Amino acid sequence: MKRLTLLVFLMSLGSLSAQNLVRNPSFENQGDCPIDTSQGFNSYVAPWDYYAGSPDYYHPCAFPGSDSATNNSLAFDGEGFAGIRVFGRNITGLVFYREYLHGELMRPLDSGKYYRATFYVRPRNNNQTREAYGINNIGMLFTDTVIDSINPDRVIYADPQVVATNPVTQVNYWTPICGIFKAQGGEKYITIGNFRNDFETTAVPLENAMNPEEAYIMVDFVEVVENDFPQLPKDTIICQEGRIDLRIKAPGINVLWSDGSTDPNFIITAPGTYSARISNGLCTYTDSILVELVNCEECVVYAPDAFTPNGDNRNDVFSILPVCGVDGYLEHYDLRIFDKWGRKVFETLSPEVGWDGTNAEHSGVYTYTLEYRFSSERETKTRIKRGFVTVLR
C-alpha cells in the first residue's frame, strides 16, 4: 500500500534584520527640546495621534515622570513613552475613561501573510488618583482606514488582532503584549487601547492599591514585523498508513503540542486537527494544522486477453474492472473496442457493462482503448490503457 511521508522542518529564521513597520515605534520626540506640551501630544511624536481624552507624554525634554506619575519608570526603548487611561467611568456610569493611541505603518500589510505584533506596557499605581487597577483587554487593532468616530460612551468596540487575555499587573517592569495574526490585506493603521467597556473587562487591584477605581497604562516600543516564529505547514492530507513528521526547533523556542508533549519532533499517523503552542518566553501563539485522510492508491485495471462468447456462461463477456484501492473513486470510464479495420464495434461508459461479442463478425483479434479518471491524493488523475483481446468462438 502506498505511503505518504511528509518531513517538515520548521525553523525560526530569527532574523535580526526584520523590518519594524511601525513609524516612530518608541514615541521619540520629533521636535525641539524642551518640548512645548501645550502643542498637543501628536505635535511631537508624529505620526502618532490619539482618540478621546488627552494621552500623556513622558520624555526628558518634557516631563520625565515621577513616582506618582510613572512609578519612576524609564522608557523601555529610547527616551519617550506614552500614557493612556484604559479603565474606569464617570459619575454617571455611562461614559468610560478611555484614551487610544493611533499610529501608522510604513506600508499596508499583505493579504494572507502572518505578522508578529508586540508592544510593551506598565500599569501605573497611583493611589492619589485611584488609578491602581491592572486589566486585561489591552490590545492593538489593525485597520485599513482611519477610525473617524468614537461611540458616545468613548469606547471603540472592536476585536483587536493582538490582545492581553490576562490582566497586566506588574508595575516593576514592562510587560510585552504580543501576538501573531494573519493579515486580511491593506491594514495600514494601528490603534492601541481597551476595546471593551468596564463590564467586559477584568480588573485586578495592583499591589498595595487602596480603593482602586481606574486603570492607566504606559506604552512603549510598538513593533510589527513579518512573522519570525516557526509556523506549522498548511492543512494537508495523509494516506492510509501514512506518516507526517513535524519539527519545531529554533534557538529560544519552546513548543507544547496538543497531546501535551514538549518534544520538538511530532509524528502524525492519523487524520485530525493538531495544534502547537509556540513561545519564546515573551511572545506566545498557537498554530494548528488539519490533516485529512485521502485515498492515495493508484487505480489499476486488469484486462483478459481473450474470451469465448458462445453462450455457455463461461468467459462469455469481456470486461475491464478498475481496482482503485480503499475509498477510491472512479469519476469517468469509457471503453471502446475496434475490429481489425478500425471500426468501433462496442462502447460502454460503465465498468459493470461488458462486451458479449455482439457485432463481432469474426473470431480473432480486436483492439480496445480504455480511458478512465479517478480521485487520488485529492487530485483527479486520468489514465489511458490500450490493448488487444481475442474472440474465440
Residues 209-265: tens digit of each pLDDT: 888 999 999 999 999 999 888 889 989 988 878 899 999 988 889 999 999 999 999
Q: What is the pLDDT of residue 197?
A: 95
Which of these ranges, 98-102, 154-158, 215-219, 330-334, has the smallest mean pLDDT? 330-334
Across the range 6-17, mean pLDDT stands at 49
Q: What is the pLDDT of residue 37?
A: 65
266: amino acid identity, one letter = F
Cα–Cα distance, 143 to 272 (Å, whole number): 34
Cα–Cα distance, 351 to 335 (Å, whole number): 8
**pLDDT at residue 15 is higher than 50:** no
Confidence class for position 46, pLDDT limits 50, 70, 90 = confident
Cis peptide before 160 (omega within 30 of 0): no
Across the range 190-197, mean pLDDT stands at 96
Q: What is the pLDDT of residue 68?
A: 61
Contact of 336 with 384, CB cutoff 8 Å: no
**pLDDT at residue 195 is higher than 90:** yes
Which of these ranges, 2-11, 52-61, 319-328, has the smallest mean pLDDT? 2-11
Q: Are strands 306-307 and 379-391 parallel, antiparallel or unpaired?
A: parallel
Confidence class for position 67, pLDDT limits 50, 70, 90 = low
**pLDDT at residue 378 is higher than 80:** no
Q: What is the pLDDT of residue 1?
A: 41
Cis peptide before 47 (omega within 30 of 0): yes
Domains of the chain: 5-12+233-293 (2.60.40.10), 37-226 (2.60.120.260), 300-391 (2.60.40)
Cα–Cα distance, 81 to 69 (Å, whole number): 12
